[in-house]
Homo-oligomer: A and B are copies of this chain.
Amino acid sequence: MTQYKTDFEWTRQQFDLPEGMIYLNGNSLGPMPRASVPAMTSFLNDEWRTELIKGWNTKDWFMQTNTLGDRIGRLIGAPAGSTVVSDTLSIKVFQAVAAGMAMVPDRKVILSDNGNFPTDLYMVEGLIKLKDAGYELRTPDPEDVMDHIIEDVGVVMLTEVDYRTGRRHDMKAIIDKAHALGAVVVWDLAHSAGAVPVDVGGCDVDFAVGCTYKYLNGGPGAPAFIHVAPRLLDTVEPFLSGWYGHEAPFAFDTAFRPMPGKIERMRIGTPSIASFALLSVALDIWDNVDMDELQTRSAELCALFISEIEARCPGLDLVTPREPRKRGSHVSFAFEHGYACMQALIADNVIGDFRAPNVMRFGITPLFVNEADIMGAVDKLEKILKEERWKNAQFQKRSLVT
């Protein structure tokens, strides 16, 4: 067994999963760190209750966007001062793509792919409608993206790791080609940050955005982040230009002046400080994790999961790339009765999820998943399949969140 400097037994102990549950959905909503309750109680009693308005000064609420951003920055290879936390991922996608479009004003094409997470496409659709100036969103199949990077493309907006299949784009190759042709690139790292090592600095990413409620364990609806290449910070237009991005936010000037040369300019409105308290303790765990080791550990667990499923669960077809470097940290199988089968598995306290039309998805998150979880999950799945339990009507009934 591989020896790690990162103590994955310790990281597992930082979470308090419900007794008997095998949680393979940390790629969708991360579990709660044990430190969340004391941290939040302390925030409420010792900050909001006690300091009230003074907390903006005495507890440094105002700059937590940046201190938290820098801690995420380490996980994605971003230099200090180039990442801030706030808003939702949808908003950050909009902000990044709008800024990218303005950098190449003569080009009217935004290139994405049809496997991108829908909200990214929706936000660009809304942006194009708002601009009302002849822009076009192209969405070829993910494997054809490289061929679609041509001279008329202004902004390439992609999610690095496919939310269904786990397939990972070749970030460096795409950026190199896009830059060579004069395009700007926006990366959504929703399924990358905390899943795989990312090197936004080394790859010369223009913009990167992501969320903190999946692998980073910030809680449901935890804030998003945005990274902008330092070389762009003097000129990037925030467009969603709120007081939190102003050069002098407390001067109450009537004209907007973006914070010069700093990532602060991409901040918008007043962020939820309570949500920062939760994110901060979640990042306390991440501060102790080496991302390369995490990837090795993920590969180890994924290999076990895939081999066990393929040996014991006939009918399930792997849709995730077999090569570890070509995927994120979740593994998906196509199965005709995937929805009902996943409901049966959830009823058995193994939590994965389902993505239309037929994908059973499992997050293999080394911070708290180990070999025993993998074997336990496959044992139960094997049994469900043998008993054809997915035929049960109760498992076929659709609920809101699948």
Contact = CB atoms under 8 A, between A and B. Distances in A.
A288 interface: no
A19 to B, nearest CB: 10
Given A87-B87, A118-B254, A401-B62, A273 B220 contact: yes
Interface of A: 16, 18, 21, 23, 25, 28-29, 31-32, 36-37, 40-41, 44-45, 48-50, 52-57, 61-62, 87-91, 94, 98, 114, 116-119, 121-123, 125-127, 129-133, 139, 211, 213, 219-224, 237-244, 246, 250-256, 268-275, 278, 346, 351, 353, 355-356, 399-402
Contacts of A50: 18
Given A18-B49, A91-B240, A129-B239, 12 more contacts: A25-B53, A36-B49, A57-B399, A90-B242, A98-B130, A119-B269, A126-B256, A131-B131, A132-B133, A220-B272, A221-B271, A275-B275
13 contacts: A37-B45, A40-B44, A54-B351, A90-B244, A90-B268, A119-B269, A121-B254, A125-B241, A125-B256, A127-B239, A130-B131, A221-B272, A272-B272
Contacts of A21: 52
Given A220-B61, A400-B62, A256 B49 contact: no
B88 A271 contact: yes
Closest 7 CB pairs of A and B: A88-B269, A90-B269, A90-B242, A126-B241, A119-B243, A122-B256, A56-B401
A240 B240 CA distance: 11
A37 to B, nearest CB: 5
Contacts of A400: 56-57, 62, 250
Given A29-B53, A254-B114, A88 B268 contact: yes
Residue of A28, A49, A222 most packed against chain B (CB within 10 A): A49
Among A31, A41, A53, the most chain B Cβ lie within 10 Å of the Cβ of A53
Contacts of A89: 269-270
A233 to B, nearest CB: 17
B49 A44 contact: no
A91 B132 CA distance: 20
Contact of A28 (B53, B62, B90, B116): B53
Contact of A269 (B91, B252, B270, B356): B91
